[in-house]
């Protein structure tokens, strides 16, 4: 006898929203990094074929990672494999290094304090927020430098600061940015879902500052 499972409209909509967000925040930055790498390899090939070959090997590995991410989503597993393999700090450094190696922007990752035991949902939220913020930097900001700060105290504080063109300020709120884009809204939602806060600001000196505070526990 075949069993029938009925999913309510609200539950189905939530499932679709989650999958779409995971695709945007997970697979999207990975594919953006691969595209930047392919451009770098194309430009490097006439000057240094061996270096271009090494870069292509790395890009092939990242493409396999993107495929694994899609399979993970299909299996409804929400924890990115890179977090299980490298931890939050290692995963952030790896992603920042991959982007910086293919784009004319210097990305520095600074860690303050000892890494506490993080809840899985908090770890995923922090990693996805950093990846989305860095993707915005390399694709839209026109920045020369970017700093990622991970501060571990009673809460996990995440900051991504760049010296690029900045974002439009929200009317009536000096320095604050309205989360109008999909990426900005996704970052804010991820922070709020785990009981944290999110803010985007345009400092007086220019650029953009993404600031997030997340609870340490899950």
- What count of residues does the chain have? 218
Number of domains in the chain: 1
Give the pLDDT score at 87: 92
Give the pLDDT score at 4: 34
Within a domain: 2:
no
**Rounded to 5, what percent of the chain is helix, strand, coil?**
55, 15, 30
167 SS3 class = coil
Spatial separation of the C-alpha atoms in residues 136 and 62, rounded to whole Å: 19
Within a domain: 162:
yes
Spatial separation of the C-alpha atoms in residues 80 and 127, rounded to whole Å: 9
Spatial separation of the C-alpha atoms in residues 140 and 17, rounded to whole Å: 25
pLDDT higher than threshold 90 for residue 117: no
pLDDT range class, residue 13, cuts 50, 70, 90: low
pLDDT higher than threshold 50 for residue 51: yes
Longest dimension (CA), the chain: 68
Give the pLDDT score at 25: 72
Within a domain: 93:
yes
Model confidence, pTM: 0.65
| Domain extent at residue 211 | 9-215
Within a domain: 21:
yes
Spatial separation of the C-alpha atoms in residues 52 and 36, rounded to whole Å: 13
Within a domain: 1:
no
pLDDT above 70: percentage of residues in the chain = 78
CATH code: domain of residue 115 = 3.30.565.10
Within a domain: 68:
yes
pLDDT higher than threshold 80 for residue 167: no
Give the pLDDT score at 14: 59
In whole numbers, what is the pLDDT of the chain averaged over residues?
A: 80
Please answer whether residues 195 and 215 qualify as being in contact, where contact means their C-beta atoms are separated by less than 8 angstroms: yes
Place of tokens 């501060």: 151
């Amino acid at each position: 006898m075949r069993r029938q499972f009925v999913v309510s409209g609200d539950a189905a909509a939530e499932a679709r929203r989650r999958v779409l967000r995971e695709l945007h925040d997970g697979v999207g930055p990975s594919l953006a990094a691969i595209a930047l790498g392919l451009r770098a390899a194309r430009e490097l090939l006439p000057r240094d074929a061996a270096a271009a070959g090494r870069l292509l090997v790395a890009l092939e590995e990242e493409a396999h990672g993107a495929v694994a991410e899609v399979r993970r989503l299909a299996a409804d597993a929400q924890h990115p494999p890179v977090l299980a393999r490298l931890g939050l700090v290692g995963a952030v450094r790896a992603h920042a290094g991959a982007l910086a190696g293919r784009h004319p922007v210097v990305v520095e990752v600074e860690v303050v304090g000892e890494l506490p035991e993080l809840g899985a949902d908090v770890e995923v939220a922090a990693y996805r927020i950093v990846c989305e913020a860095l993707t915005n930097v390399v694709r839209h900001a026109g920045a020369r430098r970017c700093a990622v700060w991970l501060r571990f105290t009673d809460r996990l504080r995440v900051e991504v600061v760049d010296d690029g063109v900045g974002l439009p300020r929200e009317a009536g709120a000096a320095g604050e940015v309205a989360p109008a884009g999909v990426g900005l809204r996704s970052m804010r939602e991820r922070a709020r879902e785990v009981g944290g806060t999110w803010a985007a600001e345009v400092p007086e000196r220019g650029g953009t500052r993404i600031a997030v505070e997340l609870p340490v526990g899950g």
